[in-house]
Amino acid sequence: GQNIDQPTEMTATEGAIVQINCTYQTSGFNGLFWYQQHAGEAPTFLSYNVLDGLEEKGRFSSFLSRSKGYSYLLLKELQMKDSASYLCAAMDSNYQLIWGAGTKLIIKP
């Protein structure tokens, strides 16, 4: 079957760095997405990886290892506004997104 695993909740301190891991199993693979979702709002796109390696975009970076079925989202210089759920989603061979349950990130001052 198809499955996405990510931690349910993480806590970090303002100004610090946090890494949110995601492992996936899909029928075929056409890329790995990260979305941010604030409470009561729709998800917003953060990153897309289809090749192995690290993609850096400002304070956020995303990493992919296709051979390991593994990705992580790295958030640097954490700000209080980064408190949100972070959704990992893998695109299968039918170009359909398989969603993880999301990681709720709590930022403490």
- The residue among 35 and 72 lying less far from another protein, judged by its C-beta, is 35
- The residue among 46 and 74 lying less far from another protein, judged by its C-beta, is 46
Query: Which residues contact another protein by CB under 8 A?
Result: 30-31, 33, 35, 40-45, 48, 50, 87, 91, 95-97, 99-102
Tokens of 8: 């349910």
Give min distance, CB of 85 to another protein, in A. 9
| Helix and strand counts by DSSP (H, E) for the chain | 0, 11
Would the CA dihedral through 11, 35, 47, 1 be positive or negative?
A: positive
